[in-house]
Amino acid sequence: MKEKLYRFMQGRYGSDQLNRFLMILVVLCFVLSLFGARVFYILGIALLAYAYFRMFSKNRYKRSAENSVYLRYEYKLKQKVASFTKNMKQRKTHHIYKCPSCTQKIRIPRGKGKIEIRCPKCGQTFIKKS
Ligand SMILES: [Zn+2]
């Protein structure tokens, strides 16, 4: 039995990060479908079929390319989330202004009253409340 399964899976793509993500989506769709949204059930079945198709596919090159596209998007999203959380933490202690002429972001500590800000990039000055 184990031998048969091994022979069946030989040369096939198997699982990767994209498939793991698809499986999470499948579970999410099925959970949402429990609340009466039939669309999610159909979507879940479709995603499950796609995940199995990828797993048993013999076109390793194409599946691997799909996975790297997914990983690129995942990386970009993680970067954005990290930058957003960093900005949220800084909001308590700093103001972030954009230079009116070159749109360079400038970080100013809060609680200093009205101050003149000089852009370090282009030298433009402007007045803002800190
Ligand atoms: Zn500037």
Distance 124 CA to ligand 1 centre (A): 5
CA of 96 to the centre of ligand 1 (A): 13
Going from the Cα of 127 to the center of ligand 1, the distance in angstroms, rounded, reads 13
- 86 CB neighbour count, 10 Å cutoff: 9
Cα 22 to ligand 1 centroid, rounded to whole Å: 44
pLDDT at residue number 36? 81
Q: What is the pLDDT along the chain (130 residues), one digit of tens a residue?
A: 888 888 888 889 988 999 999 999 999 999 999 988 889 999 999 999 999 999 999 999 999 999 999 999 999 999 999 999 998 998 889 998 999 999 999 999 998 899 999 999 999 999 998 8
| pLDDT value of position 8 | 84
Burial class (CB in 10 A: 0-12, 13-18, 19+), 63: buried
- Ligand 1 centroid vs 104 CA: distance in angstroms? 5
Distance 130 CA to ligand 1 centre (A): 18
